[in-house]
Amino acid sequence: MKYGSLVLEKKDFVMIQRYQQLTPYVEDYAHKDALDNLKERMATALIYDLEDMPEDIIRMYSYVNLSYESGWNQTFQLVPPHENNLENDKISVQSTLGASIIGLSEGDIITYGLPSNVKTLTIKKITQSNQHFKVNITERTINEALAKHKINLLTQNSEL
């Protein structure tokens, strides 16, 4: 990982936490693993205000171009679960692929797929959208989530 850990925008961080709490549905073991992995990686994520976010980070509504060594290449937009639409190249952050790439940057490499068919994908290009969450998340909600996040970071650092 280019930045050493996930990099998330404040509202993305809070909304993903909400999705994790409200979405008990898991398609298969690979999906469950991706969601569990995202939850673990979020515990040590770097959290930024929108204006401070590096441009090369995948966040909600980013357009992402992935490639595979065979020459396969795909561009899609990462969206909230209720906007998932594969026919229009919109992939949910709660999907296996979406959970695997949120917070990563251009040049990062992920492994994706079922154990019998794992592929190594490279994040080739990220283009930011002007679109952002349409819900209003209060500063209080954000601050509460970030306070818990900081406690987790302090606890983890003291255990090292």
The reported pLDDT for the residue numbered 155 is: 43
Q: Tell me the whole-structure pTM to 2 decimals.
A: 0.80
- Of 107, 83, 87, residue with least CA distance to 95: 83
The reported pLDDT for the residue numbered 133 is: 57
pLDDT tops 90 at residue 108: yes
115 HSE (CA, 13 A, CB side): 4
Q: Give the CATH fold of the 7-131 domain.
A: Chitinase A; domain 3 (3.10.50)
| Residue 8: pLDDT band with limits 50, 70, 90 | very high
- β-strands 63-68, 73-79: how paired? antiparallel
pLDDT tops 60 at residue 135: no
Across the range 58-87, mean pLDDT stands at 93
| Residue 54: pLDDT band with limits 50, 70, 90 | very high
Edge-to-edge strands of the sheet including 109-112?
90-92, 73-79, 63-68, 119-127, 109-112
Cα separation, 118 vs 160, in Å, equals 32
The reported pLDDT for the residue numbered 119 is: 87
pLDDT tops 90 at residue 77: yes
The reported pLDDT for the residue numbered 107 is: 95
The reported pLDDT for the residue numbered 131 is: 74
As a residue count, the chain comes to 160
Across the range 115-134, mean pLDDT stands at 85
Across the range 85-103, mean pLDDT stands at 92
